[in-house]
């Protein structure tokens, strides 16, 4: 969130500076960074890297469609439960080790509004009469992928479907530039 605020701020400064008829001859640090042009290309590079990671994550997740649900499952050979699926995808595609349970994953990630969802974000549901009891990965266009329940398989579903809409508990973003690890066992 802080990164995006910085990007918006810098872009707005760039457009204000670009709207002047005369070139900017600023001695302040921000003016020098913007007139250099290198900062803007670096911001673009970072943005492209984040989008590429999200695409990798979604494509990686889609590769597990049809893998059976298994309570406590953490791999494709034996099957996944919801948080085991999310954890495996993030570990394999982004190199991040998320906590094991859905509620721990919610606590370890950044809260976002539903209207801010981007592919790769996590979506949480109250499916067991307790907050954050189920998790999936947002894939875009109002859809998410998850390991649903015993007897089910990894599949894509619509966030707007009545069942999921009633149980929606919130959205979270995994910050790809930081490592999120399991909490220490007690």
pLDDT tens, 71-123? 999 999 999 999 999 999 999 999 999 999 999 999 999 999 999 999 999 99
For the residues 165-175, what does the mean pLDDT come to?
96
Q: Compute the mean pLDDT over every residue in the chain, rounded to the nearest whole number.
A: 81
Sign of CA pseudo-dihedral 81, 86, 92, 96: negative
CATH of domain 55-173: 3.90.1720.10
Q: Evaluate whether 84 touches 168 at the Cβ level (below 8 Å).
A: no
pLDDT reported for residue 51: 79
Q: Identify the band that residue 36 occupies on the pLDDT scale cut at 50, 70 and 90.
A: low
Residue 53 or 119, more confident: 119
How far apart CA 2 and CA 89 sit, in angstroms, is: 25
> Global pTM?
0.72
Instruction: Provide the residue ranges of all domains of the chain, joining segments of one domain with +.
Output: 55-173
The catalytic residue among 82, 123, 137, 139 is 82
Q: Evaluate whether 173 touches 124 at the Cβ level (below 8 Å).
A: no
pLDDT reported for residue 55: 87
pLDDT reported for residue 27: 54
- Confidence check: pLDDT of 29 > 60: no
Task: List beta partners, residue 136.
Answer: 123
Quick check: is 146 catalytic? yes
For the residues 4-18, what does the mean pLDDT come to?
40
Residue 33, H or E segment: helix 29-36
The catalytic residue among 53, 87, 134, 172 is 134
The catalytic residue among 87, 143, 146, 172 is 146
For the residues 32-38, what does the mean pLDDT come to?
56
Quick check: is 134 catalytic? yes
């Amino acid at each position: 969130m802080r990164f995006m605020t910085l990007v918006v701020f810098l872009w707005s400064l760039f457009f204000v500076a670009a709207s002047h008829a005369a070139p900017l001859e600023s001695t302040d640090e921000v003016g020098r960074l913007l007139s250099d042009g290198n900062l803007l290309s670096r911001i673009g590079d970072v943005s492209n890297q984040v989008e590429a990671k999200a695409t990798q994550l979604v494509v990686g997740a889609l590769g597990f469609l049809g893998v059976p649900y298994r309570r406590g499952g953490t791999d494709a050979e034996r099957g996944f439960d919801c948080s085991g699926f999310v954890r495996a995808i993030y570990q394999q595609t982004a190199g991040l080790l998320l906590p094991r349970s859905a509620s721990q994953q919610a606590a370890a990630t950044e809260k976002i509004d539903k209207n801010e969802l981007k592919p790769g974000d996590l979506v949480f549901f109250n499916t067991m009469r307790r907050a954050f009891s189920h998790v999936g990965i947002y894939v875009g266009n109002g859809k998410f992928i998850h390991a649903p329940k015993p007897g089910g398989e990894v599949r894509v579903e619509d966030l707007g479907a009545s069942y999921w809409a009633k149980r929606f508990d919130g959205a979270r973003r995994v910050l790809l530039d930081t490592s999120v690890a399991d909490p220490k066992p007690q």
